[in-house]
Structure 1
Amino acid sequence: MKKFSTIASIFAVSLPLISTGAFAAGGQATTAQAQAVASKTKCEFLAEAPDKHVVVKGDTLWGISSMFLKNPWCWPVVWGMNQEDIKNPHWIYPGQIVYFDRVNGRLRLGNPGGVPTVKWNPKSRVQGLGENAIPAIPASVIEPFLSQPLILEDNDLAVAPRIIATKEGRVNLGLNEQAYVRGELDGSTSFQVFRPGVPLRDPVTKAIIAYEAVYLGTVKLEREGNDESDVHTFSVVRSKQEMAVGDRLMPIPPSPILNYVPHPPKEDVDARIVSVYGGVGSAGQNQIVSINRGKNDGLNIGTVLTLYNYGRVIQDKTDANKSVKLPDEPIGDLFIFRVFNNVSYGLIMQVKDIVKVGDSAKSPR
């Protein structure tokens, strides 16, 4: 997991750690009893859920929970977490044991040999101290998308600093080459470079709701413009694609925190898939899609939606060829990890069919 220097406040929480011996009685309970507890929160356990799982490197909280739960995104509930207070999940490390407490309808964490209770008191710490801990979701899949590509809903790039010339008049810029830039830097020295990309159209209204800018790489300031010239000199420090005159600069955002607490949206959401990243028409597990809902619709980081194949409209030949829309069929889960005003990026989690542009993403039922 990537190291971070962001200081975060950790709120008080008691997390019971149950040893193997402590479950001698609890193991006698039936899955039905656990279902009765979990059903109150709509977080049902699988009938074939195991009694325990030993955490190994490469596990995620979502993946572990999928061994026990019908809806893996319910893990904050069955772990007894307070979503409002705990902004980042507790750390779980390889070698620890996850137990299924069938009596209380909970998952609990234990160490070999058993530790009765651990209590976290309010304090500050540096994110990243638990670099060997397992992440909530496959962080490596979404990490490149946390800062790029960029959704443009307003005219953001129109006023951004821009490349106006290249050294020796080169058409394109590559690694370590210099670019001449005009525009307000506002104190920043490191920038990402973007090129306005394809428009994103709402599958329902067909209106353009945003633009997805193409990420080209990063540049750093070598020499700032002065009173005699307002041209800044930059050098290319990372190149994903060649840069050219007219490309725009945006300050590099701060490093994000990669642990998220999944949760259903507070308000009912009925979204549609706008695009599959990469310009293709369909996607599968661990691929990135955008949807036509965002902050203005109550979505935030960690929101989980159910994916549906959108029911096509057919002609009912048994009833005077009337048009009939077939039901939407649930096929998996979408984990929202980056949110703009009217558009969001989501990671496709477990899925049993391909996801297509125009398919639905709705509040879990």
Structure 2
Amino acid sequence: MRSLIGLLSGYTLLICGNSLLTTLVSLRMLHVERSALDVGLVQSCYYLGYIGGALGLGPLVARIGSQRAFIGFSALTALAALGYLSFDTPGAWAVLRLVTGFSMVGVFTSIESGVNGAVPNARRGQAFALYLVLTYLGVSVGQFLLGWTTTDGAGASDFERIFVNALFVGALIPVALIGDWQVPLSSPQGAAASPLATPKRPALLLDGLSELKRAAPRSVPACIGAGLLSSAFYALTPVYLERIGFPAADISHAMGIVLIGALLSQWPVGKLSDRIGRRATQGLVSVAAAVLAAALIVVRTPLLVDCVLFLYVALTFTLYGVIVSDVNDRVDQSARVKTSATLLLVFSIGGAAGPTIGSLFMRFLGAGGLYVFALAVTVGLATLSRAQARV
């Protein structure tokens, strides 16, 4: 665990910066009077980069080691953040979001491989729980930092963008200086190569899809739905809040507070799924989230919006974990790596589409259109869970 101290400390700083940057991009585009569709298209590029990275970065991280990979991809993220100081057009920002998504996949892969390599099986669950807690903590703190750096409601100033870059660069320090470095193990001559290095990623994806079709055929659309909800929330909720009258500083506070819900709900929802079953839990969570999404279409009182959003996030951000747990209950031990990789890619596909589709709903239906979209997705997930229960 000692070798994880530096990695997880740097990771938390990096997640703070990435969370802050995501909201700053949306607010800056609103400040220069770009449409919700423009915001959605630019933010979708993050997930397109994410998909590209997920298709090819695993073998590289396995070869060079988690610390070196983290430092390299964090540096690439910092360089992309500098680009926001030099360019201020949607096209340039779309490219920068693409690069950020690509590099963040490298960061996530290095962290998860570092956790796997640093702890024994008996402690892996605890280590991953800590990883998830730090993820949501970093995301939430990043939103509160926006309130400290935004003083005039004018979107992303140069100071704010420099502050983001400082967080990205600062994340390199603990990784480089703290903890023991893990050295990737080379296969002995003549021995079988590491499974991370040998399969081609497209083949891994096809094998994973085949296994999912056999064991849990409705997990693919369910995972896409979870990706749609997550990415649309991150990219477009700042737009939604601005359109219903929240000041910029209040937007950051609201985002920070509601994202704490994602942190607090993971354990109780996981416990519920152990008790009543994954698919029943998916159905209950989806129905409750649909009710909350319907409320957000019409509710406009700030305190009430905050409360409903808190509950909505607490529910919808548990869906991916429930879906993955259901799949792992049903696949063979030998197939878990490829199905997990496939589910991550499928989730990213939903993530790439969510901001664009959500912004189209907002364009035609107004601010509440975002949660009309969320209502449609959650109803679809509830229907899927009922169909799965009969399988």
Q: Please state which band the TM-score falls in when normalised by the shorter chain.
A: under 0.3
User: Which protein has greater RCO, CA pairs closer than 8 Å, 6+ apart?
Assistant: 2
Quick check: which one's helix share is greater? 2
TM-score, normalising length: structure 1: 0.21
Structure number with bigger Rg: 1
